[in-house]
Structure 1
Amino acid sequence: MRAGATTKILALALSTATLLTGCSLKEPPRQVAAVDRGEPVAVQELSDVPSLEGKTIGIAAKDILHDYSRVVYEQIQQRIEELGGKAIATQAEAKDEKHLANVENLITQAPDAIVVILGDAQTLTPALAKVDEAGIPLFTIDFQSEYSTNNVTSDNWNIGTTLARTMAEDIGGEGKILVFNGFPGVTPCRIRYESLNLVLKDYPNIEKITPELQDKYEGTIEDAKNQIQDQLRRLPEGEVDAIWSCWDMPLIGAAQAIDPLDIEGIGLYGVDAEPGALDLIQDPDSAYQFTVAQPTKSIAATSASNIARYLAGQAELVPSTSYAEPIFVTKENVEQVRSDNGI
């Protein structure tokens, strides 16, 4: 069953406002005040945030290979500069060792703070311990760390469970699914995958096809396309009811494998609202059913504002985690979401 009742409820019930909270499959969301401590935070006016004049902020991003990472990377630099600060920006081209080296190189430049955007916890934690030892405040985006003063992230438990429940209900609570699972060390993907497994406990008639598929950062779309083509050749016709991924890029490749064959009954479910994914969701003939837009500009602005407050001696105003609520995108609401959010 494709684009079932649950998806239609989502399209009607979920607002496309940038930051929301309290939403579920059947419950309309409420708006959030910008100053809610530890709650989703709206982009605040620059007049509400202390100046970063004379401050240098180091930025270490894992990559800018997909739209989410690129926009966050660009926007946090812009926000720091708008607040009067200087940004030293590095990105590691999705290479873990280069990401680690970039962090260590920033330490030698003794910035007033360092921001880390995404990363593999096992690889990066030793470098973050060095940041702490150097007495440099560490801020993170989509990266949970014991050394982080503040982590700005989407509510990935909400994303993960809603993604999984929507998929499960769209296929009628039974069938077989293919799962891309290549990044257990990346916090958002780990949470979304754990949420999938948690939700599937309530859907015992849904089976994950094993072995799970391994996605990768470089050449993602073509690699995923090839993997799905192999699966379609290997598995009996009608064996696959849905394909899940913690991000959109593999599913763009999956759609490239499935859509030309005009196969009915396979739905694709991902996260990030990549422009290519939104184009496919907007196409009524594509298998792509569902993605989740994250408020990238607000995530970047919130991180910069928290840095400014902390460096201005307002640490009591900086929560350990700032949550940004997601926007759920379906075939029914995709045009409205794109129009409202400029994506």
Structure 2
Amino acid sequence: MFKKRFVCVLLLLAILLAACGRGATPADDQVTVGFAAASAGWPWYATFIETLENRAKQAGWELTVLGADGDVAAQVNQIQDLIAADVDYLVIGPVDGTAIVPAVKDAHRAGIPVIIIGNTVDEEADEAISAVRVPDDYQMGKDSAELMVEALGGEGRIFVVEGLPGQPAVIARLEAYDDVFGETNIEIVDSQPANWDSTKAVEVTEAMLTRYPDIDGILSMDGSMSPGIVQVVNERGLDIPIVGLGGTASELALVKDGSVYGTTCMSPGANANAAADAIEGLIAGRNVEKFQIVPSPKTTQENADQCPGDW
């Protein structure tokens, strides 16, 4: 009898010790996620990061965010830093879809699943990527160009205020503009970068309106730049259509009051949730769809209230 009781006590003690051991080291089982952002300061990325942080908190992940401020070399180094930190999952918002390919492959070799958001990466890295959650930049460019065709009746001279030169999003949108306007009598007389910066957009717009005082319309490649463009146009007393892209809160207000003819609705919150859903699926071992487009519908006064304007 004593022997049976002694064995029971030992078993109970072993269970208690095991339970205490699990409770004492919860960090050992915590999922770590690294996010290499093109920039932590750009408005779109700021909302993306906030949403991803909320999802990480809900799921109990440890999230590390590094922002490259639009610098390709800095982003490559930051990706390598996250690989060295041995994160469990790596989310990347590329500055340049070509330059980061070797780093993406390094992450894959290290056994780290890679999730691409915001901008696409060259096909050369496809096998090293677990999931892609991006808006369709070509389609958004096409939608914006079609809005300009509608606003101008298919003819006129316009200029474009671009984002950061060389980014996949910029390249795809410019290609879409050319394809749409090539079927019309609308001519892009100039296209200059403002690097997704509202202050820079004002400077670029002022310079181009001085150079092209008889311009018929302006395409803004990003919603964060549209308010600055509207400001300059109003200061000069011009009545020309401005078409945006992105659907920031400030841009949507201008769509609603008619200052901006139309835009597209690109939600960073929706993109962040799509990325977090992909991570959750990978953690659970589910068959995660590799490529998903995050919707970004054409937006005008008629449907502007349906766009979240979350950046």
Q: TM-score scaled by structure 2? A: 0.81
Q: In structure 2, what is the equivalent of residue 257 of structure 1?
A: 232
Q: Contact 1:122/1:185 (CA < 8 Å) preserved in 2?
A: no
Relative distance call for 1:130 and 1:140 in structure 2 (3 A) is same
Q: Select which of 132, 147, 171 maps to 1:166.
A: 147
CA-to-aligned-CA distance 1:36-59 (integer Å, 9 cap, x gap): xxxxxxxxxxxxxxxxx6211111
Contact 2:118 2:134 in 1 (8 A): yes
Distance 1:342 1:75 in 2: 10
SS class of match (1:180): strand
| 1:230 equivalent in structure 2 | 207
> Which aligned runs of 4 or more in structure 1 are off by greater than 4 angstroms?
340-343
Contact between 1:60 and 1:102, CA under 8 Å: does it hold in 2?
yes
Distance 2:300 2:310 in 1: 16
What is the CA–CA distance in structure 2 between the aligned matches of 1:342 and 1:251, rounded to whole Å? 16
Letter in structure 2 aligned against 1:66: W
| Residue aligning to 1:337 | 306
Q: Return the match for 2:101 from 125, 150, 157.
A: 125
| Other structure's SS at 1:123 match | coil
CA contact (8 A) 1:121 1:186 kept: yes
Higher relative contact order (CA 8 A, sep 6+): 1
- The two structures, once aligned, show a CA RMSD in angstroms of 2.2
**2 CA distance for matches of 1:282 and 1:244?**
17
Structure 1 residue 304: deviation in Å?
A: 1.2
* Residues 182 and 333 of structure 1: CA distance in aligned 2, closer, same or farther (over 3 Å): closer
Q: Aligned equivalents of 1:121 and 1:327: distance in 2?
A: 24
Deviations 1:238-286 (CA, angstroms, capped at 9, x unpaired): x21111132123332221211122211x2111212122222322334x3
- Cα separation, 2, equivalents of 1:155 and 1:227: 26
How do 1:55-66 residues align onto structure 2 when only pairs under 5 Å count?
Answer: 55-66=31-42
Matched with 1:89 is 65
Larger radius of gyration: 2
Q: Which is richer in helix?
A: 2
Which of 169, 176, 182 is the matching residue for 1:188? 169
Q: Which residue of structure 2 aligns with residue 176 of structure 1?
A: 157
Structure 2: tracts of 5 or more residues without a match: 1-28
Q: Identify the residue that residue 183 of structure 2 maps to in structure 1.
A: 202
Cα distance in 1, alignment partners of residues 204 and 63 from structure 2: 40
Structure 2 vs 1, CA of residues 276 and 321 (structure 1 numbering), >3 Å: closer, same or farther?
Answer: same
Q: Percent identity?
A: 23
Deviations 1:89-117 (A, max 9, x none): 22223333322221111011101110012
The corresponding residue for 2:17 is: none
Letter in 1 for 2:220: S
- Deviation of the 1:186 alpha carbon: 2.1
Of 285, 299, 311, the match for 1:313 = 285
For 1:171 and 1:152, locate their aligned partners in 2 and report how far apart those are by CA, in whole Å: 34
What's the CA shift for 1:78?
A: 1.6
Q: Taking structure 1 as reference, are residues 311 and 279 closer, same or farther at Cα in structure 2, changes over 3 Å only?
A: same
Partner of 2:129, secondary structure, is: coil
Q: Which amino acid aligns with 1:209?
A: V
1:323 and 2:293 correspond: yes
Residue equivalent to 1:73? 49
Query: Distance in 2 between the 1:95 and 1:183 partners?
Result: 10
Aligned partners of 2:40 and 2:66 also within 8 Å? no
Q: Given that residues 248 and 309 in structure 2 are in contact (C-alpha distance below 8 angstroms), is that contact kept between their aligned partners in structure 1?
A: no
Superposed CA offset, 1:51-89 (max 9, x none) = xx6211111111133332111111112212312222122
Q: Is the 8 A contact 2:247 2:267 kept in 1?
A: no
Count of aligned pairs between the two proteins: 278
The 3 A distance-change label for structure 1 pair 227 and 188 is closer
Give how far 1:182 is off: 4.8
Q: Where does residue 194 of structure 2 map in the other structure?
A: 215
